[in-house]
Each structure stands twice: as structure tokens, then as C-alpha cells.
Structure 1
Amino acid sequence: MHYAQQEFSVRLQWGLDAARLLSGQADHCVVVDVLSFSTSVDIACARGAEVWPYHARDDDAQAFAEARRALLAARRNRVQPSLSPASLQQLADGSRLVLPSPNGARTSLASCAAGTIAGCLRNAAAVASHLACEGGSVLVVAAGEVDKDGRLRFAYEDFIGAGAIIYGLSGSKTPEALAAEAAFVLARHDLENQLGLGASAAELRERGFEEDVALAAQLNVSDCVPLLRDGAYRALEALAEA
């Protein structure tokens, strides 16, 4: 049983179930999956792309992409558009990308908040500024890591990423939110090294994706606010112009 902590305006919870069960009790939901879904969404949307979250790169993913006239992201690599943030740095304006992810994408799709945003370290200040302007309660959902057996695992980078967004918000904050904020304040001057010491980054570096860790550790380099609407993330500015 999840407790919504509705007496607080800024809340932090973990994983898919939190998004599914608690996001409807907040005005805004921010999904944080620093390595790498949220970072990838920020980079892609900042380049004028739209990103369709999808739960997994399974047999149905290609048909899902074709129905939306979109490109299905490849398995993680640096050459083709994929869940690797580095692979999206040259994505063309107007691209439509289906981005499967077992953590961030699934958590995004589970959210039933009217305003669901992809947040990371890169756009933390921009997201917090947008939420401050909008007003209302905020649920920050740290996606965490899902092991092969389906169990949710704590992800240090998501805790820090959530804290970076919470740091820019005012209002009453849950103890969990305050703890994430404090962790971010301690780590903020050494983010690449701090994230690099975590298990998720170590796994990526072993596979040769050091650049993804470096990109994800950049703080407030993006003013993009990717908002989930009609099944796809688009930059807030693009939605305003539509």
C-alpha cells in the first residue's frame, strides 16, 4: 500500500508502482532515469525530435513504430539512434523516435498525471522553473534499476537527479525529497565522478559507454522541458507552437 503524502507539495517515490498508484494524486509527475532514458529524451527533444516511450524492444515494437511513422531505436550503440544519449546528439529536427526502456519508458507510460515530464541532471533547473511557474503539487519518481528478475534496485544517479530538480522547487517537501536534495547538494560539484562510482555507470563504462555517463552528469546545460502528451515526449516550446 502506497501512502500519497498529500500533505506535502513536493514528493519523491521510486519506480513503476509509484507512478502507477500515486501520480494521479499530484498535479505534475517528473520521471527521472538519468542513465539513460530521461537524458536521452532531453537530448532528443532539445533537437526538435519527438520521443515515444515504449516498454521494451520486443516483437511488437517495430509495428508500434511503423504505426506512428517513427524510427525504432536500435539496441544500445553509439552509431544508430538508441538508448545511448551519445547516439542522439546528431538527431535531425523533426525526427520521430520510439525509445524502448524497461525503466524510464515504462514508468512514464504508467504515470496518469496530467503533466508528466522527463527530468534529469541536464535539464533540472529548467524543469524546476517550469514547475514553479505552473504551481501545484509535484511527484518526482526516480525510476531506479529493474533487475532481470523484475525486482526494483536503488539507483544512486536517479536519487541525485531527483534531488537536483527538488533543489529548485519551493514548498513543503517530504523527508525522502529532502534527503535526495541533500545528496545532490553534496555531490553537485563532482557529479561525473560521483555518478561514475555508482553501479549503473560502472556497468556502462565496462561496455564502453563512458561518453553516456559524461553526458548524463552535465548539470543544467539544457533548457528543454520534455512533456508527455498523447503518448510522446515533445519539448514544451514545440507543444506551445503546435
Structure 2
Amino acid sequence: MFGEQTGFGVRLEWGEAGVRHLAPLADAVVIVDVLSFSTCVDVGVSRGAAVLPFRWRDARAAAFAAERGAWLAGERSVGGPSLSPASLLSLAPGSRLVLPSPNGGTLCALAQEAGGAAVFAACLRNAAAVGAWLRERCSRVLVVPAGERWPDGTLRPALEDLLGAGAVVNALGLSPSPEAEGARAVFRALRERLPGVLAACSSGTELTERGFPEDLTLAAELNVSRSVPLLRGGAFVDAAH
């Protein structure tokens, strides 16, 4: 089929449709949701916590957390652990956190439902670590920039996720499809200006206006983390340790 990017070691496709169509063809699926799901996963996992992704932010999330003996991340505005990377800097080793995310959490669930492929979370902070780990173990990797949503619910491709996906492709070193190569080219062109680019893009502007500039600072840090978040038993843990 023309949309399968056949013959390449690294494929790239956006969002839910990308996971549904291409995850069955991969050994590993890498979810990239820079602002802020996968950055939160990296921050939590690098501190020795287990992060449990969840699709919905409602009573189902509370029940899910209670069943698994985990904390539930709340809204950014109320304090405590949330979908704010800065709020997770004090997570204790061994803690368990349910992280509801309509974008990243949904993609993780879909990737698991596709069957077979291992599921990873990557961002700018850990792109090199995830890429190096997979390069030694997998020959078919699907990189999925999550994107955001327009008010009508349709996918809005997001620059920050394209950059994060390009950073992963850059680190993988496997033969990229043209789609993956394009993301890598964008990352290479902008890698020296990541803090400014993230702050000025649509998603970054929204975070600043909502009062979370520290989240942008954390998300724009390139390759500062060695964590390799692998979804195992419903929770992201560090495959590198």
C-alpha cells in the first residue's frame, strides 16, 4: 500500500491514524508529544518513577489510579503533579503516577492495541538516548508525532512534535523514509534555536500565556536525559536501567 512507507527502517506518520495504519508493521513505536506528555514521561521516569498513561481526564482516571495504587495527576492550575513537566521534578523514586493525556495517552493505548510493537515515549530531552537504544535492537521503527487538536477535534500538526520526532530520527541512524527524513531536516535546521522556536510556536505561546514558562524551558533542553521510557505492564519505566 502506498501509505506504508515500505522499505525503510524508520517511518514517520502523525497521530492516531498513523498509529493505526503503521504500528502493525513496526518493531517499536515511539510516541512524541513534546508539550507536554512525553516530556512529562521523561521527567518522571528519569527520577525513578513509573508513569501510567491514560486516555481520559474524568472519573475513569481516578478509578484507574485507585485500582493500581497510583497518584493521579491533576490539572495544571491546581498545583501538585500534573501534565506539567515542572510539577514532576520532585517525584520520588518508586512512585507511581497516572498521567491522563488525550493526545499522548490515547496514542499509547492505540499502539498497544495494535499488538506486537514495543511502545516508547520520546521528546527533545531524551531523543538521543531513545534513538541509540532502539538502533541496537530494532530494524523497523515508527516515530509518531502526536500533534494537537483544532477546536473541531481534527489534528493540528504541531512544530514542537515534528522537531522532537526529527531529533529521534536523527539519533536512530536507520534508513529513514522521506517523511522521517523531512522531520530530521527540520530538526537539524532549527536545533540551535530550540528554546526560542518552542516559545514562539503556537503551543509554546499558549503555555506562556497560561503561566507555565518553566515547562517550555524543560521541554526545549536537548539530550539532557538518558532515560528510555518503555511501556511495560501499563506503565512507562526506564528500559536503560
Which residue of 1 is the match for residue 222 of structure 2? Answer: 219
Which residue of 1 is the match for residue 195 of structure 2? Answer: 192
Matched, 1:49 2:66: no
CA distance in 2, matches of 1:12, 1:23: 10
CA contact (8 A) 2:14 2:144 kept: yes
CA distance in 1, matches of 2:137, 2:240: 15
TM-score (norm 2): 0.95
Matched, 1:134 2:126: no
| One-letter amino acid of the structure 1 residue matched with residue 147 of structure 2 | G
Q: 2:154 aligns with which of 151, 154, 159?
A: 151
CA contact (8 A) 2:39 2:219 kept: yes
Structure 2 residue runs without a partner (length 5+) = none
Q: CA deviation at 1:170?
A: 2.1
CA deviation vs aligned residue, 1:196-228 (integer Å, no higher than 9, x gap): 111001000000000001100000000000001
Which residue of 1 is the match for residue 180 of structure 2? Answer: 177
Q: CA deviation at 1:149?
A: 2.5
CA contact (8 A) 1:9 1:138 kept: yes
Which residue of 1 is the match for residue 23 of structure 2? Answer: 23
* Matched ranges for 1:20-99 at <5 A: 20-77=20-77, 79-99=79-99
CA contact (8 A) 1:77 1:84 kept: no
CA distance in 1, matches of 2:225, 2:145: 20
Structure 1 residue runs without a partner (length 5+) = none
CA deviation vs aligned residue, 1:89-141 (integer Å, no higher than 9, x gap): 00011111100011111111110342110000000100010011113111000
Q: CA deviation at 1:78?
A: 7.8
Q: Which moved more, 1:95-104 or 1:12-21?
A: 12-21
CA distance in 2, matches of 1:85, 1:229: 21
Which residue of 1 is the match for residue 167 of structure 2? Answer: 164
CA deviation vs aligned residue, 1:62-91 (integer Å, no higher than 9, x gap): 011000000110112483000000000000
| One-letter amino acid of the structure 1 residue matched with residue 197 of structure 2 | Q
Q: CA deviation at 1:148?
A: 3.8
CA contact (8 A) 1:78 1:84 kept: no
TM-score (norm 1): 0.95
CA deviation vs aligned residue, 1:132-181 (integer Å, no higher than 9, x gap): 11131110000000234221101000000000010112232111111110
CA distance in 1, matches of 2:188, 2:166: 8
What is the SS of the residue equivalent to 2:59? coil
CA contact (8 A) 1:45 1:226 kept: yes
